[in-house]
């Protein structure tokens, strides 16, 4: 671990000393590729080294989505979790109180959402210090990350946590780069682009490919990508997770300061122990989880609004809806009637491939 961490530090030091310009772009691209390969060794779990999973890091999944709380010690994660779920995560006014992953479940809009209060991370987690490595490994499996910050020092802590997560291959509030990479047996590296590439040139692309021992491949750039985007695609182990910055302890700042921090993108200011703005946090969480509520309507009866079927956006076809209720329904399916935003008129007849939207009402007709 120490040798990998040392090599990472050496490359980071060299990158910080190297001035960025046209002449050094290729060299910097190579250094970034070497760095990504070394960091992959830290991301990939080892058999017995690196501290293992540890007590409290094996969390069984419950609910339709998982929200992980990440933050420095004593920023109020445990108090906030108590507010959202009623689960008692030991809260105290000193650092490092939560030493294991504490799971809880909250009910919202008819959905069960799992909340994980992860142990406080410290700077250097991605280099294997503290419990940070295991914490971020769990974070990679979450559907949404709450980065809980002390409002009195949000910017410094925000930057450190973002760097830790980035180092572990977690990309926050980003879409995967639109780069199509296909390896082939022979023919060299063929590069095409449908948009102008303003951040990288062909020499950099070929240098990075060479570092990854990619000798023959088709690479199609469909976005104005950076060298980091290309490395992410070649690594293939990146996860793209939405994140919310939860700015806690707003009872300790003035209204003018609150107005300033309210401009931070993807942020919700709250006071956990006083319960301020928790409803706003819940509704924003729902929006970021991208969940879809579908109500059932048995033939000849009124819709059942008490227990919606919860689907993920992107997996919300009538077929997904049927499979969610029972695996046998699809084989007996004749057609469905839908009321709501996904159809041009109420009660429209649709097939299995029809995509449902939030709060649609569905009647299934069997053969």
User: Are 139 and 271 in a shared domain?
Assistant: yes
Is 160 a member of any domain? yes
Asked if 255 and 318 sit in the same domain, the reply is: no
Torsion angle in degrees (nearest 10) through CA of 38, 42, 46, 51: 140
Q: Show the tokens assigned to 91.
A: 């809260």
Flag whether 148 is in a domain.
yes
pLDDT in tens, 293-342: 999 999 889 998 988 999 988 899 999 999 998 888 999 999 999 999 99
On the question of pLDDT at 3 being above 90, the answer is no
* Alpha helices per DSSP H over 213-302: 227-235, 255-261, 278-289
Q: Are residues 280 and 223 in the same domain?
A: no
From residue 294, how far is each of 165, 331, 334, 342 by CA, in Å?
A: 34, 20, 19, 11
My answer on whether 32 and 89 are in the same domain is no
Judge whether 110 lies within some domain: yes
Query: Does 181 share its domain with 170?
Result: no
Residue 77 is part of a domain; what is its CATH number? 3.40.50.300
Q: How many domains does the chain have?
A: 3
* Same-domain status, 74 and 151: yes
Which are the contacts of 124, defined by CB distance < 8 A and separation ≥ 6?
130, 132
Same domain, 202 and 349: no
**Is there a single domain that holds both residue 295 and residue 357?**
yes
Confidence of residue 176 (pLDDT cuts 50, 70, 90): very high
196-205 pLDDT, tens digit per residue, is: 999 998 888 9
Q: Containing domain of residue 321, as a range?
A: 291-366
Please determine, for residue 215, whether its predicted confidence score (pLDDT) is greater than 80: yes
pLDDT surpassing 50 at residue 214: yes
Judge whether 60 lies within some domain: no
pLDDT in tens, 250-295: 999 888 888 888 888 999 999 988 989 999 999 999 999 999 999 9
Q: Is 55 part of any domain? A: no
pLDDT tens profile 76-131: 888 888 888 876 555 444 344 444 566 788 989 989 899 887 775 655 555 555 55
Tell me, yes or no, whether 57 lies in a domain.
no
Give a yes or no: residue 52 inside a domain. Answer: no
Predicted local confidence at residue 193, as pLDDT:
94
Indicate whether 114 belongs to any domain. yes
Any idea what the CATH number is for the domain that residue 311 is in? Answer: 3.10.20.30
* Full-model pTM: 0.83
Say how many C-beta atoms besides its own lie within 10 A of residue 239's C-beta.
Answer: 15
- Are 230 and 280 found together in one domain? no
| 152 and 259 part of one domain | yes
């Amino acid at each position: 671990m120490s040798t990998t961490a040392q090599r990472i530090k050496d490359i980071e030091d060299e990158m910080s000393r190297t001035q960025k310009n046209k002449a050094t772009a290729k060299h910097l691209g190579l250094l970034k590729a070497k760095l990504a390969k070394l960091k992959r060794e830290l991301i990939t779990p080892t058999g017995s080294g690196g501290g293992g999973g540890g007590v409290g890091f094996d969390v069984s999944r419950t609910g339709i989505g998982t929200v992980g709380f990440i933050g420095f010690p004593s920023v109020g994660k445990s108090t906030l979790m108590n507010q959202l779920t009623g689960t008692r995560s030991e809260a105290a006014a000193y650092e490092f109180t939560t030493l294991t992953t504490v799971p809880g479940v909250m009910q919202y809009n008819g959905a069960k959402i799992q909340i994980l209060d992860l142990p406080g991370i410290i700077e250097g987690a991605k280099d294997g210090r503290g419990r940070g490595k295991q914490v971020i490994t769990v974070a990679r499996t979450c559907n949404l990350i709450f980065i809980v910050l002390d409002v009195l020092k949000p910017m410094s802590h925000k930057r450190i946590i973002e760097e830790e997560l980035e180092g572990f291959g977690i990309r926050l509030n980003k879409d995967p780069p639109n780069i199509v990479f296909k390896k082939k047996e022979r023919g060299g590296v063929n590069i095409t682009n449908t948009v102008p590439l303003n951040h990288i040139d062909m020499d950099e692309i070929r240098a990075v490919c060479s570092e990854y021992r990619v000798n023959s491949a088709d690479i199609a750039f469909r976005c104005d990508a950076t060298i980091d985007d290309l490395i992410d695609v070649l690594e293939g182990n990146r996860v793209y997770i939405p994140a919310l910055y939860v700015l806690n302890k707003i009872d300790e700042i003035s209204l003018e300061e609150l107005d300033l921090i309210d401009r931070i993108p993807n942020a919700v200011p709250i006071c956990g122990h006083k319960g301020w703005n928790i409803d706003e946090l819940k509704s924003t969480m729902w929006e970021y989880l991208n969940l879809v509520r579908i109500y059932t309507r048995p033939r000849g009866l009124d819709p059942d609004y008490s227990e919606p079927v919860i689907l993920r956006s992107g997996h919300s076809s009538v077929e997904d809806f049927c499979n969610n209720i029972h695996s046998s329904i699809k084989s007996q399916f004749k057609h469905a009637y839908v009321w709501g935003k996904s159809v041009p008129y109420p009660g429209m007849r649709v097939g299995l491939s029809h995509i449902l939207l939030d709060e649609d009402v569905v009647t299934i007709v069997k053969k």
